[in-house]
């Protein structure tokens, strides 16, 4: 039996160079890619396995604690990784990184005048289960200024990446929150085709919400096909 995949919908993803997002003009590729041949004996795909993922890697409320709880609104983020026929993609590595509740990243390049949280790293990872599901417990990130244009603020968002069968098969996207008034002003959101922007916004879920502890959001990621999620590195 031969399995065929839907063709890539290149028009469904943001362009590498989008003038409204100024830094893409400098870092976006403008020349054709150069294919590289793998050297003999070179590992062709990542070797992860559940033993390579720590017990608390998925829980950003605990994986960087030093002297207390991280500050901010706790949240659960879950969803499925699906292929073009909406079949679950099991045992794939999902990585997450984000700003803290005040809108600041733990990175020396982030000089935003907002406090760092000593108990929050803003990074985690997990493997999808047999049903293609992933789950993170984290803190809802804050908006932050980023200097792209006058009075520019990035909406609250979470970065997510997926690893496939090969090192080069990494897909990166951003998840946004429902009802954020900054969506319409953000070049990253607006660079996605208008008909697909809704696919970048998570759904609030009372079923995922943990009573008395954390609100729940669902964000499915579809690799290709009619329901394809817009990815940054198409």
**Looking at 105, 134, 176, 217, which residue is catalytic?**
105
Give the span between the Cα atoms of 145 and 156, in whole angstroms: 11
Residue of 125, 154, 183, 224 marked catalytic: 154
159 is an active site residue: yes
DSSP 33-75: ----PPPTT---S----GGGS-TTTTBTTTTT-SSSPPSS-EE
Nearest CA among 69, 66, 72, 123 for reference residue 98: 123
The answer to whether the CB of 160 falls within 8 A of the CB of 175 is: yes
Active-site position among 144, 176, 183, 217: 144
Q: Is 105 a catalytic residue?
A: yes
Query: Annotated catalytic, 166?
Result: no
Q: Please report which helix (H) or strand (E) contains residue 30, including its range.
A: none
**Hey, what are 173's tokens?**
């996207």
| Two tokens, residue 169 | 């098969």
Q: Are 163 and 92 in contact (CB under 8 A)?
A: yes
Known catalytic residue: 154? yes
Given the residues 13, 58, 104, 157, the one annotated as active site: 157
Question: How many Cα atoms occupy the beta-carbon half-sphere of 82 within 13 Å?
Answer: 15
Whole-Å CA distances, 113 to 52, 102, 139, 151, 152: 36, 10, 19, 15, 15
List 13, 104, 125, 159, catalytic entry:
159
Please list the active-site residues: 105, 144, 154, 157, 159
């Amino acid at each position: 039996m031969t399995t065929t995949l839907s063709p890539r919908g290149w028009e469904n993803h943001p362009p590498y160079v989008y003038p409204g997002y100024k830094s893409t003009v400098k870092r976006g590729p403008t020349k054709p890619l150069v294919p590289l041949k793998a050297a003999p004996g070179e590992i062709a795909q990542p070797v992860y396995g559940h033993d390579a993922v720590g017990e608390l890697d998925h829980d950003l409320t605990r994986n960087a604690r030093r002297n207390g709880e991280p500050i901010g609104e706790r949240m659960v983020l879950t969803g499925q990784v699906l292929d073009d026929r909406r079949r679950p993609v099991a045992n794939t590595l999902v990585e997450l990184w984000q700003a803290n509740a005040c809108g600041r990243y733990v990175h020396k390049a982030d000089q935003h005048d907002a406090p760092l949280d000593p108990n929050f790293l803003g990074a985690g990872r997990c493997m999808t289960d047999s049903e293609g599901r992933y789950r993170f417990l984290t803190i809802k990130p804050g908006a932050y200024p980023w200097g792209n244009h006058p009075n520019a603020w990035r909406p609250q968002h979470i970065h997510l990446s997926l690893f496939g069968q090969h090192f080069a098969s990494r897909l990166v996207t951003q998840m946004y929150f429902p009802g954020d008034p900054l969506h319409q002003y953000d070049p990253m959101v607006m660079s996605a085709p208008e008909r697909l922007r809704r696919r970048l916004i998570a759904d609030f879920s009372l079923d995922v919400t943990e009573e008395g502890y954390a609100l729940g959001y669902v964000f499915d990621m579809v690799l290709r096909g009619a329901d394809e999620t817009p990815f940054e590195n198409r």
